[in-house]
Structure 1
Amino acid sequence: MPETMQLTPQGVLSRLVPHILEMESAAGGRRIAIGMAGGPGTGKSTLAAELVAMLNAVRPGSTALVPMDGFHMKHAKIEAMGETGRKGAPHTFEGAAFVSFLHHLKRAAEPVSGPGYSRKIEDTVDDAFTVAPDVKVLVVEGNYLLLTQGPWAGVKSLLDYAVFIHVPRDLVEARLLKRHGEEGLFSEERNRAHIARNDLPNYDLVEASRERADVVFEMDVAR
Structure 2
Amino acid sequence: MAERLRLTPAEALQRLVPHISEMQSEADGHRIAIGLAGGPGAGKSTLAAELVNLLNVVRTGSAALVPMDGFHMRHAKLEALQETHRKGAPHTFEGAAFVDFLHHLKSATGRVSGPGYSREIEDVVDDAFTVAPEVGVLIVEGNYLLLPSPPWAGVRPLLDYAVYLDVPRDLVEARLLRRHAEHGLFTEERNRAHIARNDLPNYDLVATSADRADVVFELVVER
Query: What TM-score bracket applies, with the shorter chain setting the length?
Result: over 0.9
User: What corresponds to 2:181 in structure 1?
Assistant: 181
Kindly report the root-mean-square deviation, in angstroms, between the aligned alpha carbons of the 2 structures. Answer: 0.4
Report the CA distance between 1:185 and its aligned residue.
Answer: 0.2
Structure 2 gaps, min length 5: none
What's the TM-score once normalised by structure 2's chain length? 0.99
List gaps (5 residues or longer) in structure 1: none
CA offset at residue 33 of structure 1? 0.1
Displacement, 1:38? 0.2
Distance 2:149 2:177 in 1: 28
* Residue number in structure 1 paired with 2:76: 76
Q: Once superposed, which parts of structure 1, at least 4 consecutive aligned residues long, lie more than 6 Å away? A: none
Q: Deviations over 1:68-111 (max 9, x none)?
A: 00000000000110001100000000000000000000000010
CA drift of 1:183 comes to: 1.1
d(CA) in 1 for partners of 2:194 and 2:4? 31
Residue 148 of structure 1 deviates from its aligned partner by 1.0
CA distance in 2, matches of 1:117, 1:209: 24
- The structural deviation recorded for 1:149 is 1.4
Q: CA deviation at 1:203?
A: 0.3
Q: Percent identity?
A: 76
Distance 2:117 2:174 in 1: 22
AA matched with 2:175? R
For residue 150 of structure 1, give the secondary structure of its aligned residue in structure 2. coil
Instruction: Specify the alignment match of 2:91 in structure 1.
Output: 91
Q: Distance in 2 between matches of 1:11 and 1:44?
A: 15
Per the alignment, residue 152 of structure 1 pairs with: 152
What SS class does the counterpart of residue 28 from structure 1 fall into?
A: coil
Once the two structures are TM-superposed, the CA of residue 161 in structure 1 deviates from its matched residue by 0.1
1:125 alignment partner in structure 2 = 125
Matches within 5 A, 1:201-220: 201-220=201-220
1:1-223 aligned within 5 A? 1-223=1-223
Aligned residues: 223
For residues 5 and 125 of structure 1, the distance between their equivalents in structure 2, rounded to whole angstroms, comes to 35
